[in-house]
Amino acid sequence: MGPRIISIVNQKGGVGKTTTATNLSAALAATGKSVLLVDLDPQGNASTGLGIDGARRSLTTYDLIAGEHEVSEVAIETRYSGLSIVPATTDLSSADLDFAGAQNRVSLLKRRLQSTPLDYDYILIDCPPSLNILTINAMVASDSVLIPLQAEFFALEGLSQLMLTIRQIRSTANASLGIEGVVLTMYDRRNNLSQQVEADARDNLGDLVFRTLIPRNVRLSEAPSFAMSILDYDPASAGARAYVALAEELIARHSVPQEASHVAAR
């Protein structure tokens, strides 16, 4: 059985997507899981946040998608035991044009991830804040999609286009693509709006919404500037505790086979 491949997707920026990608990856690795984080965002923030400087990015996700190198050649070990990353650079910003004429261009990443056996428990893909060819490639290659949802006004309305895209991918390129779940981010328990967004999300999406809530926490914002995950930067913080809990909840979902059916059905 191969790794569980999860795309972390939201076409809206600033919702905690990369924060979730880096810290969830580190938290999964801390439980003893073997994790690969694929940075698919041209901004490369996940790579920077895990301490991969420019000099170490001679091979990137662009080289992987272009079919020039295998995962084993482009993956870099991070400071965290059990966590590797395929880094990104701004080269990815031209992907829509560069791969426009490629055969089966929505399956480029899938072919690379399937070309050789991969010894990971989880592969997480940090997608750019748009539904472009990179994000489509990620979802075609994935078992499921994890959606960070900021606890703000109109949060649920932004999901409609993403859900439509997921349905289209299921009907054309990846029939088994499931929704891993929705994780509420930047949650403020003192704020009535956050509580209302949570209530609306649970009413509309039910058990797709993770029980774990990611709080609005300044330590989470500070950690990337020190090239650390929150687990290293401030392991006692509310943000660190939340991502550890999210990792445990994710693992628990996969330990119960019947859980898989409801995420694929929506």
pLDDT digits (tens, 9 = 90+) for 101-157: 888 999 999 999 998 889 999 999 999 998 999 999 999 999 999 999 998 877 777
Architecture of domain 4-265: 3-Layer(aba) Sandwich (3.40)
pLDDT in tens, 223-259: 999 999 999 999 999 999 999 999 999 999 888 654 4
- Residue 55 identity (one-letter amino acid): A
- CA–CA distance from 128 to each of 103, 116, 142 (Å)? 22, 25, 15
pTM of the model: 0.93
| All structural domains of the chain with their residue ranges | 4-265
Please compute the mean of the pLDDT values over residues 34-46 and round it to a whole number: 96
Q: What is the pLDDT of residue 262?
A: 42
The structure tokens listed for 150 are 């900021």
Longest dimension (CA), the chain: 51
Beta strands in the chain (DSSP E): 4-8, 35-39, 76-77, 83-86, 122-126, 144-150, 178-185
* Cα(194)–Cα(239) distance, integer angstroms: 16
| Torsion angle (degrees, nearest 10) of CA 71, 72, 75, 77 | 150
